């Protein structure tokens, strides 16, 4: 399947590049290959030399430091104890203090040398801390490759209405502040908040899988293996699940999902979770953000065969998580100057805009430009309505979603692959062969500007 996906990506890129300057590309690729080979050769030599000498360096420096410090401490102690007068209580106390000082000095010297030497070690091996963490969890550690899925369900429809979904603070009123904000804006935008979510489900920007296990319901991000999200309503479609959905120990992943609900199954499935990590939420742009949902609640409706067919989910977003999610989604907006952070949270848990200048172009960077234009307005819109920690200060903002489910098949747990080394997995990368960490796509045709010969015209319009 990986070979098939790579083949699909290769054909896709060849079509996109048909009108580009091939000679220039060949030269660029050749230069990059030579540079990579040189870097790899150099890195291998450095790593080999570092591995061979690091232990000797640590031992020699520790021994030298210890010997020198001991000699100095002994000389100082002899000077203090060679007085002609007999020992007094004060002399004994001085001697004890000197011994303690000597021990502390030796320990500090050894620690400093070890720290300095370890800092210079190559990152190709697990750190001591990571090894210790792995050792601590060795008894119950199982690699993610051994994970066996039970019944899994794909979210084929998703929306958010202000009347959905839960009373989170016990005042007999449904809490969904985010949806309420967008509902008031519908007359200006011309579309509903729910339609924004459904569009992203159909385009594959939101891909979610729920798994029904005994006493729990894990939540996973996913990817459609045939890269076609329009045919997923029938059920039994194969999906890939990202390995990042599992808890990481050291450099290895376990078979324990990061996000899951503790559930009970009666006439419905009801569950709660202290934290659902990376849930897709649409805020200041149409692109969903990955934001943690705190104190999440889920309720699923079952069919006559006791299989889940639809559900509702609610919870709250801590204001700090909201600010972090907004900043991460706008990290590519270098045209927005905010030295202290574009969005921060003040002592009263209110969102603050730290924008100083907006030099964004409204034509080529519309999301960045609009964020800069309305940055202060977000302070007034996204205000907290939930007291999450019970200290009588509202510190989070409520959300709620409704969705439909169809059965799904998990074909693979995907391990991170990044050919162009831009930090974006090749399955998600809109230019998998050309580094473009910002994933800029001016014409929204899923082909990044870095590898789009005509970035101002969508390939769906017939112009590459």
Q: 271: which strand partners? A: 263, 298
Please compute, for residue 235, the number of CA atoms within 13 A of its CA located in the half-sphere on the CB side.
10
H helix or E strand, kind and range, residue 381: helix 366-381
> Among 208, 155, 164, which Cα is nearest to 182's?
164
Burial track 361-400 (b if 16+ CB lie within 10 A, e otherwise): eeeebebbbebbeebeebeebbebbbbbeeeeebbbbbbb
> Among 72, 229, 49, 245, which Cα is nearest to 144's?
245
Look at residue 402 in the predicted model and tell me its pLDDT. Answer: 96
Look at residue 391 in the predicted model and tell me its pLDDT. Answer: 92
> Among 65, 144, 157, which Cα is nearest to 105's?
65
Look at residue 301 in the predicted model and tell me its pLDDT. Answer: 96
Residue 146 DSSP one-character state: G
Look at residue 273 in the predicted model and tell me its pLDDT. Answer: 95
Pairing of strands 396-414, 237-242: parallel
Look at residue 427 in the predicted model and tell me its pLDDT. Answer: 80
| Radius of gyration of the chain from its Cα atoms, rounded to whole angstroms | 29
H helix or E strand, kind and range, residue 247: strand 246-249
Six-digit token string for 152 = 């899994």
Q: In the 3-class helix/strand/coil scheme, how is 139-167 assigned residue by residue?
A: CCCCEHHHCCCCEEEEEEEEECCCCCCCC
> Among 342, 208, 218, 352, which Cα is nearest to 288's?
208
Look at residue 284 in the predicted model and tell me its pLDDT. Answer: 77
Give one word for 378, left, alpha or beta, with left for phi > 0 and alpha for psi -120 to 50: alpha
**Full-model pTM:** 0.64
| Residue numbers in the chain where pLDDT is lower than 50 | 1-59, 61-63, 65-98, 101-102, 106-107, 109-110, 113-139, 463-464
Q: State the residue for tokens 């004060």.
A: 90
Residue 176 DSSP one-character state: -
Look at residue 459 in the predicted model and tell me its pLDDT. Answer: 62
The four Cα atoms 204, 401, 260, 322 give a dihedral, to 10 degrees, of: 90
Give one word for 89, left, alpha or beta, with left for phi > 0 and alpha for psi -120 to 50: alpha
Phi and psi dihedrals of 36, rounded to 5? -65, -40
> Among 298, 283, 291, 279, which Cα is nearest to 206's?
279
Q: 401: which strand partners? A: 313
Residue-wise pLDDT tens digits, 207-264: 999 999 889 999 999 988 887 887 777 777 889 998 888 988 877 888 889 999 999 9
Residue-wise pLDDT tens digits, 314-349: 999 999 999 998 888 888 888 999 888 899 999 999
Q: Where are the domains of the chain?
A: 39-124, 144-410
In a 10 Å sphere around its CB, with 0-12 CB exposed, 13-18 middle and 19+ buried, how is residue 436 labelled?
buried
What distance in Å separates the CA atoms of residue 133 and residue 130, rounded to the nearest whole number?
A: 5
What distance in Å separates the CA atoms of residue 144 and residue 137, rounded to the nearest whole number?
A: 14
In a 10 Å sphere around its CB, with 0-12 CB exposed, 13-18 middle and 19+ buried, how is residue 210 labelled?
buried
């Amino acid at each position: 399947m990986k070979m098939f996906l790579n083949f699909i990506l290769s054909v896709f890129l060849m079509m996109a590049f048909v009108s580009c300057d091939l000679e220039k590309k060949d030269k660029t690729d050749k230069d990059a290959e030579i540079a990579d080979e040189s870097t790899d050769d150099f890195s291998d030599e450095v790593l080999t030399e570092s591995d061979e000498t690091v232990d000797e360096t640590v031992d020699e420096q520790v021994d030298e430091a210890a010997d020198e410090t001991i000699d100095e401490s002994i000389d100082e102690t002899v000077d203090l104890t060679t007085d002609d007068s007999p020992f007094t209580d004060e002399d004994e106390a001085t001697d004890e203090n000197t011994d303690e000082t000597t021990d502390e000095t030796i320990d500090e010297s050894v620690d400093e040398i070890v720290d300095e030497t370890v800092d210079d070690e190559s990152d190709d091996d697990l750190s001591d801390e990571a090894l210790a963490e792995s050792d601590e969890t060795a008894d119950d550690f199982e690699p993610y490759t051994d994970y066996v899925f039970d019944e899994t369900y794909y979210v084929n429809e998703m929306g958010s209405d202000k009347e959905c979904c839960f009373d989170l603070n016990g005042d007999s009123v449904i809490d969904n502040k985010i949806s309420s904000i967008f509902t008031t804006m519908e007359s200006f935008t011309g579309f509903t908040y729910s339609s924004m979510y459904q569009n992203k489900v159909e385009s594959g920007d939101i891909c979610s899988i729920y798994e029904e296990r005994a006493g729990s319901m894990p939540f996973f991000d996913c990817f459609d293996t045939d890269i076609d999200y329009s045919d997923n309503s029938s059920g039994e479609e194969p999906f890939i699940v990202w390995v990042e959905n599992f808890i990481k120990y050291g450099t290895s992943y376990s078979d324990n999902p990061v996000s899951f609900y503790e559930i009970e199954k009666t006439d419905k499935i009801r569950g709660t979770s202290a934290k659902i990590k990376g849930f897709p939420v649409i805020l200041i742009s149409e692109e969903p953000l990955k934001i943690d949902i705190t104190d999440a609640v889920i309720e699923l409706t079952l069919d006559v065969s006791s299989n889940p067919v639809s559900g509702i989910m609610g919870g709250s977003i801590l204001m700090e998580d909201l600010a972090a999610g907004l900043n991460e989604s706008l990290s590519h907006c270098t045209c927005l100057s905010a030295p202290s952070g574009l969005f921060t949270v003040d002592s009263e848990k209110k969102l603050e805009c730290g924008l100083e200048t907006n030099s964004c172009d409204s034509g080529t960077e519309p999301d960045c430009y609009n964020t800069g234009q309305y940055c202060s307005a977000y302070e007034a819109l996204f205000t907290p309505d939930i007291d999450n920690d019970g200290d009588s200060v509202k510190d989070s903002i409520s959300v709620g979603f409704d969705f439909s489910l169809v059965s799904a098949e998990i074909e693979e747990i995907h391990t991170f692959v990044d050919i162009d080394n831009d930090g974006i997995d090749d399955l998600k990368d809109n230019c998998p062969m050309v580094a473009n960490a910002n994933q800029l796509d001016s014409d929204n045709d899923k082909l990044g500007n870095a590898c789009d010969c005509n970035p101002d015209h969508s390939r769906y319009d017939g112009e590459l």
